[in-house]
A = this chain, B = another copy of it.
C-alpha cells in the first residue's frame, strides 16, 4: 500500500487521475491534446487539475521525451553589456517555443568553460550558445558538437564544424583603420584582446592586414588587454608611455578597453582626439556616455542573440543535418568625438 501523498509533496498526474476517476493516460492527453478526450471527461479533469493546483513535473516529461527545453548560454562576462543584450535577443527568439536559458558566466576561464559545458550536457540541454574565450574551436566541437547543436556567437571559428553567428571581425577592424587613415593618422596602434581567442585574433588580423596593405603596420604598436576597462587602461598606458614612440590613434578591440584607453590618456595628460584618437568596438551604452563620446564600430548584439536562437530552432528540427553555417551580422561605424 503506497503512503498517501504527504502535504508538502506536489500533486502528481497519478493524484489527478485518481481524483478525476480516469487513467493517467487520459489526464496526460487532456494536457497535451495529443488525443481527443470526451468533453465531459476533459472538463472534469481540468477542474481537478485546478483544484489540486497540479503542474506537470517537467523533469519527468523531459526524461521521457529526451528533451529538456533548455538552452545553455555560456558567456565570458555578464557584466560586459554586450552579453546581456545578446541574452535578451536570444531569449526573445526562444521563449515562444518554450525554451528557457541556463546561464553561465565563466570569466573567460577555460576550465570554467569546460566545466559548465559538461554540466549543461549532463543536464541534457537541447542546444548550446557559447561565447568561448579559453576554448579552441576544435575543443568546443569535440566537447559538445557531437551531442547537441552548438552555435558560437561573437566570433567566427575558421573551418569549424560548428554554426556561428558573428560580425565580420576582420572587416570591423579594417573599417576602423580606414576611418582613422581618412582622418590622417599614420601611427595607428591597437589594443587587442587576449591572444588565442577567436574574436581577438580576427580583429587583430583585420587590423594588421589593413595597415600592411599600406605598409604602415608597426608591431611595436600592438598591445594586449583582456576586454575589460582595467585591461585596456593598462595596455594603453604601456603604449603611450614613451612620447617618441607613441601612436596617434588607437583601435581597441572592444568598448570597455577603449574606455580604459580614455582613462589612460587622461592620466597621461593626452587630449583625445587631439593627441590620441580612440576607436572601440561594440557600441555599448557607455560608449555614448563617456567624454569624449567614443567613436566605435557598432555590433548588433541583440541581433546576434536573436539570429543564434533562430538558427538553433532550425537545428533542433528532426531533419536538420545540414552543413554548418556562419551567419554574419552587419556592423556600422558610429563616429563620435574620440576620433
Contacts and interface: CB of A to CB of B under 8 A. Distances in A.
B68 A88 contact: no
Interface in A248-296: 259, 285-286, 289-291
A299 interface: no
Contacts of A105: 87-88, 91
Given A57-B122, A59-B68, A63-B57, A259 B88 contact: no
A119 interface: yes
Contact of A291 (B56, B84, B124, B291): B291
A83 B147 CA distance: 32
A122 B289 CA distance: 42
Interface in A70-123: 70, 73, 78-79, 81, 83-85, 87-88, 91, 100-105, 116, 118-123
B100 A101 contact: no
B123 A58 contact: yes
Q: How many A residues are at the interface, by size bracket?
A: 35 or more
Contacts of A63: 57, 59-60, 63
A55 interface: yes
B79 A88 contact: yes
A102 B104 contact: no
Interface in A220-237: 229
Contacts of A58: 119, 122-124
Nearest to A302: B79
B122 A56 contact: yes
Given A59-B123, A102-B100, A124-B59, A78 B68 contact: no
A97 B121 CA distance: 18
A114 to B, nearest CB: 13
Copies in the assembly, this chain:
2
B286 A55 contact: no
Contacts of A91: 103-105
A62 interface: yes
Contacts of A60: 63
A336 to B, nearest CB: 13
A10 interface: yes
A116 B87 CA distance: 16
A84 B103 CA distance: 11
Interface string A33-68: 000000000000000000000011111101100001
Nearest to A73: B103
Contacts of A81: 79, 81, 84
A113 to B, nearest CB: 13
Given A63-B63, A289-B289, A55 B122 contact: yes
Nearest to A60: B63
A84 B88 contact: no
16 contacts: A55-B118, A55-B121, A55-B122, A58-B119, A59-B59, A59-B123, A70-B102, A83-B84, A84-B84, A88-B105, A91-B103, A100-B102, A102-B102, A103-B103, A229-B285, A259-B289
Given A55-B118, A286-B289, 15 more contacts: A55-B122, A58-B124, A59-B68, A59-B123, A70-B102, A78-B88, A79-B84, A79-B85, A81-B81, A81-B84, A88-B105, A100-B104, A100-B119, A100-B120, A289-B289
